[in-house]
Amino acid sequence: MTAPYDPTEREKVVAKLPSELRKELKVRAAEIDTDIQDAVTAGVEAWRKAKSLPLVDTAGGTSFATYLPTGLYDKLKTACKTRGISYNQGIAQSIRLWLDTHPSPRPRPSRVTGARRIIFGNQKGGVGKTAISAGVAQALAESGHRTLLIDFDPQGHLTKQLGNPLIDIEAASLAKHMLGEARGELNELLVPIKGGDFEEHLWLLPACKDAFLLDAKLATSRYVRIKETALEKALEPLEHDFDYILVDCPPSLGYGMDTALYYCRTREGEEENTSGIVIPVLAEDSSADAYDMLYDQIQDLIADMDIEIAMLGFVVNMYDSRKGFVATSSLDEWHNIGEPPVLAVVPELKDQREAVRVKQPLLVHAPYGDQAEVMRTVARRISG
């Protein structure tokens, strides 16, 4: 039987929904590894066949957007009019029906190794490590995971883009904790990131300018007996407070990057690909050259320390097919590597640049844009 609409042709649907229903939908979609738009589509299709559904309290609703197949969207509006309910109520009932028929999977066994540790690294600057680490952290937190986002780049772009000041150079910082020079507890430095559906689930450990000196001090410090373990020792007290710890790494192949790579290694008793590195790249040759250097660094560390480091995948950032053969052929080459896989392709759009300009998280500034959806896709793929 032919569907009454073309599922490849979709149009934007905007409704007002209560925040708890919105959050529940995003968490459940992440739990069962499905796109939000596909979950809402399935809910609407089931709703059209259902009868006598209870009303959903939509008081205090705020904006929610998704995409429905164009023909289905029209049928939803017609059915709402026939049933004498508002369009917002029809969408709310559809989502509630989908949630009720797709219960949360059973919780996984508790982790024996603390938080899952994901680092975002590439020797080349300007590939989007900061944007992707921040977006994925927001998506994980939006799905109900307690998430810590660490700005490990002394340039502090992540800290500043989220509207926070860098830690004063005389104050305690992550670098000072790594070197044994700090007083107090590391958790005293954490800053909550507010807004959107991830509020109360996402924290930032800001950067400090003293991180520029980290490599030199790691090389000479008597306190750090095994340089590669310095980051892990500093973060260990925080691990059982979080489900995920994400690290935005510097564009460097120095000691600092070694500590981050060692931190994301597969620990004893940890499932394969639970932790690891995500590699942001661009669809051009310089990213490939930088990846070659990063790959060599990873392999050297694996051999020297007798460890396993999972390369979780590439995220091809700022992709625009209109740039022609250079972009399209480069994207093909990233896909052809095979392992690690391409986790997602982030389109070249204004959303992220605007979010940086107004110092807002992407999933607050443009929560239903294409770039935000890609961040959710990456979050699902690394958390699956």
pLDDT averaged per 10 residues, the chain (length 384): 53 91 91 91 96 92 91 92 94 96 73 83 87 97 96 92 92 89 92 91 91 67 68 94 96 86 94 95 86 93 95 94 89 93 94 94 94 95 87
Q: What pLDDT sits at residue 280?
A: 95
Check residue 221 and give its pLDDT: 63
Where, residue-wise, is CATH 1.10.1220.10 in the chain? 10-101
Could you tell me which CATH class the domain 10-101 is placed in?
mainly alpha
Report which of 243, 249, 235, 245 is spatially closest to residue 207, judged by C-alpha positions: 249
Q: Between the CA of residue 171 and those of 175, 184, 233, what are the distances in Å?
A: 11, 11, 19
pTM beyond 0.85 = yes
The answer to whether 163 touches 139, Cβ cutoff 8 Å, is no
Numbered ranges of CATH 3.40.50.300 in the chain: 116-383
| Residue 2 pLDDT | 38
User: What pLDDT sits at residue 3?
Assistant: 44
> What is the per-residue pLDDT for 121?
94
Q: What fold, for 116-383?
A: Rossmann fold (3.40.50)
Surface-to-core class of residue 48, CB atoms within 10 Å of its CB (0-12 exposed, 13-18 middle, 19+ buried) = middle
